[in-house]
Structure 1
Amino acid sequence: MRGLFVIDGNIYNYMLKLYEVMVLNLLFIIASLPIITIGAALTALYDVTLKMQVGIEKEMTRSFVKSFRKNGMQATKIWFAFLSFIAIACLVISLVNGHPVVLFPLLCLTALLVGALPYTFSLVATFDNKTGIMMRNGLMLAMQHVPHTLIMLSVSGLLFLYLPIYQSWLLLPVIILAFSLTAVVQSHFISGILVKLVGEEEVTDR
């Protein structure tokens, strides 16, 4: 029984991982407070969680801040492009009074864009390329890996919609863990996809 709580024991390792996820969640929330920096914060978040998947993340806070600064401009452009589409979609829906002929395609396209965001910001965190190419590749990955995209969307829906609304007693744990935990789950799938595409060395070198 005593061996369970030693430094190399399973319980200690699980508690350490939980602590890291909580700290990472706090870093993301603080970095996102200006709202316009959410894209940069997401990129930094995926940078850290992708490295966690391959076991090379040792200095989480420093890595987060470094990625936030390095990729901030490009990630912010992508974030503004996404917000612009949402604003246009809302305007169109209001003009046509939510007509299903217009509403359904817009909802499908919005779901696709939301599903492409984790891929896109992960690409920004991992590779150097033009913004347009990053966005195109993120959309392509979302469409090419529909099962993974649907799972990632389901995880987001569970943590940010179902649990806070229907299990209100879980609201505090959701606030403490939701963002980073979602990124950890999504990075599990994205990391495998990127490794298959370009190899592990290319994913871990940056």
Structure 2
Amino acid sequence: MSRIFALDGPLYRCLDKVWQLLKLNLLFLVSCLPLVTVGAGLTALFAVVFALQEEGTVQVGVRYWKAFKARLARSTQVWLLVVAVLTALVGAYFLLANLTRGSQPILLTFMVLVAFLLLAAMPLFPLLALGLSSDLGGAGASIMSDQSLKNPSLGKLLRTSLGVGVGHVLECGGMFLLLALTCLLPIFLPRLWPLWLLFAGSLLAFLQAWLFRRACGALPVRARPDQAKGRGSERSTGGDGLDGGDRPGPGRR
């Protein structure tokens, strides 16, 4: 019984994780208030979540703002592109519905295209965060670093995201399903609004990061600093656009 309440016991670790996710979620909400910075907030959110999964306990505030500033320009560019594409898709749907008088085969084909684009978009911000791992320091840096994604061009990022999304439909589909459930939760369970506001962003990113890393072959592994220093990245080839130097982390399954 005393082991449960010890400083290194399961109860303390659980409460510490809850506290870090709470701080992370509040930082994310504050950084997204201008709306145009949502992309940078998402990138920083995933960067800290990757560190949490690797190291267990991190300096959330320091890591978050460092990642936020490091990827502000590129993340904002990607976020504005995502918003523009989603707006265009919504407009195209209503236009197509009017022109075809609600033809179900045509609209169904259009929705398949939308689903394809959503799968391709799911890995965008985790990939941006992935390239920051070596800059943020800590035990997870050498495990999750990927030099080809350290400062990727927009074209490189989009191609890689498309490869991951299409090559790993189950994982990226699961990421989208988690996003949809999180957005619908306060509508169907309004009494959970306070909890949703305090934990929705960080908890969602934590679960999505696990699926993303599974897709990329790098499951969360708690590494000690002395282990991380001597661990090298294995190169492997796959059909998701992360072949050779493009595949992040060791090939763990």
* Higher RCO (C-alpha under 8 Å, 6+ residues apart): 1
Partner of 1:200: helix, strand, or coil? coil
TM-score (norm 1): 0.87
Residue number in structure 1 paired with 2:230:
none
Moved more, 191-200 or 165-174: 191-200
Residue 142 of structure 1 aligns with which residue? 165
Alignment of 1:102-117 (within 5 A): 102-117=106-121
2:176: which partner in 1? 153
Kindly tell me the number of residue pairs found equivalent between the two proteins.
Answer: 200
Other-structure match for 2:77:
77
1:168 equivalenced with 2:197 (yes/no): no
Between stretches 37-46 and 55-64, larger displacement belongs to 55-64
Identity %: 26
- Matched with 1:204 is none
**Counterpart in 2 of 1:29?**
29
Q: How does 1:32-71 map to 2 (within 5 A)?
A: 32-55=32-55, 58-71=58-71
CA distance in 1, matches of 2:123, 2:91: 27
CA deviation vs aligned residue, 1:68-125 (integer Å, no higher than 9, x gap):
1111111111111111111211222232336334533443333343333341111112
- Report the Cα offset of residue 146 of structure 1: 0.6
* Displacement after TM superposition at 1:156 (Å): 1.6
Shifted more, 109-118 versus 23-32: the winner is 109-118
Assess if the C-alpha contact under 8 Å between 2:31 and 2:37 holds in 1: yes
Distance in 1 between residues matched to 2:49 and 2:89, nearest whole Å: 31
Q: Distance in 2 between matches of 1:13 and 1:51?
A: 15
Which residue pairs with 2:229 in the alignment?
none
Alignment of 1:176-187 (within 5 A): 176-187=198-209
Tell me, yes or no, if the aligned pair for 2:97 and 2:107 is still in contact at 8 Å.
no
For 1:117 and 1:96, locate their aligned partners in 2 and report how far apart those are by CA, in whole Å: 23
Q: Comparing 97-106 with 139-148, which one deviates more in the overlay? A: 97-106
Which of residues 119, 123, 127 in structure 2 aligns to 1:119? 123
Residue 56 of structure 1 deviates from its aligned partner by: 6.9
Q: Distance in 2 between matches of 1:24 and 1:139?
A: 28
Retained in 2: the 8 A contact 1:118–1:186?
A: no
Counterpart in the other structure of 2:6: 6
Task: Give me the whole-angstrom Cα distance separating, in 2, the residues matched to 1:59 and 1:112.
Answer: 37
RMSD: 2.1
The range that moved more, 38-47 or 88-97, is 88-97
Q: Distance in 2 between matches of 1:95 and 1:78?
A: 26
Moved more, 21-30 or 192-201: 192-201
- Equivalent position to 2:214, from 192, 196, 205: 192
- CA distance in structure 1 between the aligned counterparts of 2:56 and 2:13, rounded to whole angstroms: 16
Q: Structure 1: which 4+ aligned runs deviate by more than 4 Å?
A: none
Give the match for residue 94 of structure 1: 94
The code of the aligned residue for 2:39 comes to G
CA contact (8 A) 2:123 2:172 kept: no
Q: Name structure 1 gaps, 5 residues minimum.
A: 202-206
